[in-house]
Amino acid sequence: MRLPSEMSLCFYRVAQEALNNVLRHSEAEQVFVTLSVSNGIAQLSIKDTGIGFDTSTFSQGIGLLSMRERLRMMGGEFELESTPGKGTQVTARLHVPVEGAASQGRA
Amino acid sequence: MRTEVLLGCLGIESLVILFLLFSSHRGRSANNTLETCYALSKIIAKFSESIAASNFDQLDAIVESGMRDVLELVGAGRLCWYLKQDGSSSLERIYSVLAAGSSPSPSTVSVEAIPYSLECLMKGEILTLQSLDDLPPEAERDREFYRQELIGRLILIPSNCGTASKGVLGIVSAAQGANWPEGFMSQLTVFSNLIVTTFERKHAEQLRRDSERRFRCLFQEAPIGIALEDTDGRLLFVNPALCTMLGYAEEELLGMSCAQFSNVEDHNNELPRLEQLLNGSIEGYRMEKRFFRKDATGIWGRVDISLLQDQSGDPPLVLAMLQDITCHKTAVGELRETKLRLEKLAHRLIQVQDDERSRISRELHDDIGQRLSLFGIELDLLGRSLTKLGYDRKGEQAALLHSQVNEIISDLHDLSHALHSTKLQHLGLRAALRDLCNRISQRHRVAMELCEEGGCGSHQK
């Protein structure tokens, strides 16, 4: 199934931004990028095995703000989870338009 | 201590004590006792009638007048009425009348001062002392107290009419005298009971008045609007704050229906909940609704509605409390608008950023990239020509420059790709993500794993 171009662009930019963050801050040796479409919801997650950070104390930068706003613009959800010493995971979720949800193909 | 235990056991909250302290001269002789009893019964009958006919403000004066009549009849020095509050360690003097030349009775009497007497009274016994010598040896404390108070002869009669406040009536003389007849005692018991019931009536009325004053004060001074309505929504009572909120005078609001100044939609939304309130399925509700002021401007109010039921069986009243939340609502609305504007701005910025990235990417790829490619080809050709003409070193330099140009072209393509992925455009998200992961794993020491639906397919290092 092929996602609409604006959704693809949204996910692609989130992936770019999240991977840039991984390379800049995480010191991770392994990164998992997962893309799935199920029950009308497309989900992209980028999970690393890096140093992580305390989400209650860090200040949100432009990159994170941009990811959040992209998802909000598309009516989707953005989640950031991180534990010091255990890595970080960002997840983006979008509702796939109904007419596209019926067929399963390449994204 | 014995007395306190007894008080607790009996659950008696208060005591009324009537002291009759006779003047030092001898009392009336036994011969005119019947006459005195008859006169006393007339005083009590008059007292009873006066109490029944008087209003709250006259009660104290009537009690004291009745006590004075009794005082004069029996020739006592003083007549006092004491109350013991529940849990209090002393008796409090409430009423007192004195014969000329008599010293006043103490304003309070500690329960520890007369333990023996109190024990008798708590049992409902009348304590009759023709002299202080009649007290048993264990009543030494009582005797000492009465001696200090210059009491020679005393009768204490507890009230026994079942009121929450219970009392005692007593007779004493500084000088000893003859025994009082039984009929006299029973009449004084009736008198004591009348004082107790009068005191309770006054106390209850005082509580009611205090409560009413507090409620009136709350109603008048409350910063929130308060209204009492009948079950049809007609206003019966309104407070000044409500009048100010709605811009009406009190006389205008009384008799108006809530629906007259409520937003129609909000009013209709409220009706089912009002129905639930009236049929008893809910105890009250809170809602936000719009109202119209007299000048037709609107306000937002938060209303709390509950039901006021009374025991009389009359239809219940609806109690409405209204808080003006117009400012809050306006601020929330403005905040929402500002948030929407900021979101729109952010989204516009993201779109502009994407458009600009695409444009710069195209420029880099189609213009600068092409020109650099051409430049590289020419450098290659130049190098080959120079080598052919025998300028080997110059040819090698040109070849080196050519390879450097190719590196720049490769970096340029990477930059162009980061700005705008042609793979995303032409092959879709999965291909673009795969390409992105490949590029990162090639340039950095990070293992990339791209997991797709049904498991992790590609694995690049």
Q: Kindly state whether residue B51 falls inside one of the protein's structural domains.
A: yes
* Whole-number average pLDDT of chain B: 84
User: Where does a domain end: B261, B291, B324?
Assistant: B324
Residue B322 pairs in a beta bridge with: B225, B303
Residues B375 and A104: beta-carbon distance below 8 Å? no
B369 CA: distance to closest CA in chain A (Å): 23
Q: Kindly state whether residue A60 falls inside one of the protein's structural domains.
A: yes
Residues B6 and B122: beta-carbon distance below 8 Å? yes
- In sequence order, the 6+-apart residues with CB closer than 8 A to the CB of B42 are none
Considering only CB atoms, which chain A residues are within 8 Å of B437?
A: 33
B348 CA: distance to closest CA in chain A (Å): 9
Question: Which pLDDT score, from 0 to 100, does residue B290 have?
Answer: 95
My answer on whether B72 and B173 are in the same domain is: yes
Specify the number of domains making up chain A: 1
Substitution target in B350, B433, B460 with the highest count of A β-carbons within 10 Å is B433
Q: Which two tokens stand for residue B224?
A: 């929130």
Instruction: State the number of CA atoms in the 13 A half-sphere of B384 facing the CB.
Output: 5
Q: Kindly state whether residue B213 falls inside one of the protein's structural domains.
A: no
* pTM of the shown model: 0.53
Cβ separation of A32 and B456 shorter than 8 Å?
yes
Percent of chain B with pLDDT over 70: 86
My answer on whether B141 and B18 are in the same domain is: yes
B298 has a pLDDT exceeding 90: yes
Substitution target in A12, A45, A48, A68 with the highest count of B β-carbons within 10 Å is A12
My answer on whether B168 and B136 are in the same domain is: yes
Determine contact: A1 vs chain B, CB below 8 A.
no
Q: Kindly state whether residue B329 falls inside one of the protein's structural domains.
A: no
Q: Which two tokens stand for residue B80?
A: 């006092």
B260 has a pLDDT exceeding 60: yes
**Confidence tier at B105 by pLDDT (50, 70, 90):** confident
My answer on whether B171 and B233 are in the same domain is: no
Percent of chain B with pLDDT over 90: 44
Considering only CB atoms, which chain B residues are within 8 Å of A21?
A: none
Q: Kindly state whether residue A63 falls inside one of the protein's structural domains.
A: yes
What CATH code is carried by the domain that includes residue B174? Answer: 3.30.450.40
**Confidence tier at B238 by pLDDT (50, 70, 90):** very high
B63 has a pLDDT exceeding 60: yes
Q: Kindly state whether residue A61 falls inside one of the protein's structural domains.
A: yes
Mean pLDDT along residues B417-424: 86
Q: How far apart are CA B256 and CA B158, in angstroms?
A: 57
Q: Is the dihedral of CA B61, B62, B63, B67 positive or negative?
A: positive
My answer on whether B26 and B167 are in the same domain is: yes
Q: Kindly state whether residue A69 falls inside one of the protein's structural domains.
A: yes
Q: Kindly state whether residue A42 falls inside one of the protein's structural domains.
A: yes
**Weakest mean pLDDT among A12-16, B84-88, B386-390, B402-406:** B84-88
My answer on whether B131 and B245 are in the same domain is: no
**Confidence tier at B8 by pLDDT (50, 70, 90):** very low
Chain B residue with Cα closest to A105 = B453
Determine contact: A37 vs chain B, CB below 8 A.
yes
Question: Which pLDDT score, from 0 to 100, does residue B30 have?
Answer: 47
B143 has a pLDDT exceeding 80: yes
B455 CA: distance to closest CA in chain A (Å): 9
My answer on whether B285 and B367 are in the same domain is: no
B453 has a pLDDT exceeding 70: no
My answer on whether B169 and B267 are in the same domain is: no
Of A12, A36, A73, the CB nearest to B421: A12
Pairwise pLDDT comparison (B180 vs B141), residue with the higher score: B141
Of B350, B429, B448, the CB nearest to A11: B429
For A58, the domain range is: 5-101
Specify the number of domains making up chain B: 4
Question: Which pLDDT score, from 0 to 100, does residue B171 have?
Answer: 61
Cβ separation of B445 and A29 shorter than 8 Å?
yes
A56 CA: distance to closest CA in chain B (Å): 23
* Whole-number average pLDDT of chain A: 87
My answer on whether B37 and B53 are in the same domain is: yes
Cβ separation of B425 and A5 shorter than 8 Å?
yes
Question: Which pLDDT score, from 0 to 100, does residue B19 have?
Answer: 44
Determine contact: A22 vs chain B, CB below 8 A.
yes
Query: Given its phi and psi angles, is residue B15 left (phi above 0), alpha (psi -120 to 50 degrees) or beta?
Result: beta
**Confidence tier at B312 by pLDDT (50, 70, 90):** confident
A30 has a pLDDT exceeding 60: yes
My answer on whether B93 and B230 are in the same domain is: no
| Helix (H) or strand (E) segment spanning residue B196 | helix B182-221
What CATH code is carried by the domain that includes residue B314? Answer: 3.30.450.20
Highest averaged pLDDT of the listed ranges B50-64, B87-101, B247-261: B247-261
Question: Which pLDDT score, from 0 to 100, does residue A60 have?
Answer: 76
Q: Kindly state whether residue B102 falls inside one of the protein's structural domains.
A: yes
Give pLDDT tens digits for B157-206: 777 776 666 666 656 566 655 566 666 788 888 888 898 888 888 888 99
User: Where does a domain end: B271, B300, B324?
Assistant: B324
Question: Which pLDDT score, from 0 to 100, does residue B179 have?
Answer: 60
My answer on whether B146 and B87 are in the same domain is: yes
Closest CA to A16 of A39, A52, A46: A46
Residues A2 and A106: beta-carbon distance below 8 Å? yes
A106 has a pLDDT exceeding 50: no
What CATH code is carried by the domain that includes residue A34? Answer: 3.30.565.10
A2 has a pLDDT exceeding 80: no
For B267, the domain range is: 222-324
Q: How far apart are CA B384 and CA B32, in angstroms?
A: 160
Q: How far apart are CA B190 and CA B131, in angstroms?
A: 24
Determine contact: B399 vs chain A, CB below 8 A.
no
Considering only CB atoms, which chain A residues are within 8 Å of B446?
A: 22-23, 28-31
Q: Kindly state whether residue B365 falls inside one of the protein's structural domains.
A: yes
**Confidence tier at B82 by pLDDT (50, 70, 90):** confident
Substitution target in B354, B416, B429, B458 with the highest count of A β-carbons within 10 Å is B429
- A 10 A CB-CB count for B298 gives 11
Determine contact: A31 vs chain B, CB below 8 A.
yes
Per-residue HEC secondary structure of A42-66 comes to EEEEEEECCCCCCCCCCCCCHHHHH
Question: Which pLDDT score, from 0 to 100, does residue B170 have?
Answer: 58
In the A/B pair of chains, how many CB contacts fall below 8 A?
Answer: 83
B452 CA: distance to closest CA in chain A (Å): 5
**Weakest mean pLDDT among B23-37, B104-118, B206-220, B315-329:** B23-37
B324 has a pLDDT exceeding 90: yes
Q: Kindly state whether residue B216 falls inside one of the protein's structural domains.
A: no
Considering only CB atoms, which chain B residues are within 8 Å of A2?
A: 428
B449 has a pLDDT exceeding 80: yes
My answer on whether B91 and B144 are in the same domain is: yes
Residue B154 pairs in a beta bridge with: B129, B172
* Phi, psi for A60 (deg, rounded to 5): -75, 125
Determine contact: A39 vs chain B, CB below 8 A.
no
Determine contact: A60 vs chain B, CB below 8 A.
no
User: Where does a domain end: B207, B241, B261?
Assistant: B207
Pairwise pLDDT comparison (B28 vs B90), residue with the higher score: B90
Strands B168-173 and B16-22: parallel
In B130-154, which positions are buried (b, 16+ CB within 10 angstroms) versus exposed (e)? Answer: bebeebeeebeebbebbeebebbbb
Give pLDDT tens digits for B352-402: 998 999 899 989 988 999 999 999 999 999 999 999 999 999 999 999 999
Cβ separation of B437 and A33 shorter than 8 Å?
yes
Q: Kindly state whether residue A107 falls inside one of the protein's structural domains.
A: no
Question: Which pLDDT score, from 0 to 100, does residue B376 have?
Answer: 93
Chain B residue with Cα closest to A65 = B346
Considering only CB atoms, which chain A residues are within 8 Å of B452?
A: 34-36
The SS3 assignment for B310 reads coil
**Confidence tier at A80 by pLDDT (50, 70, 90):** very high
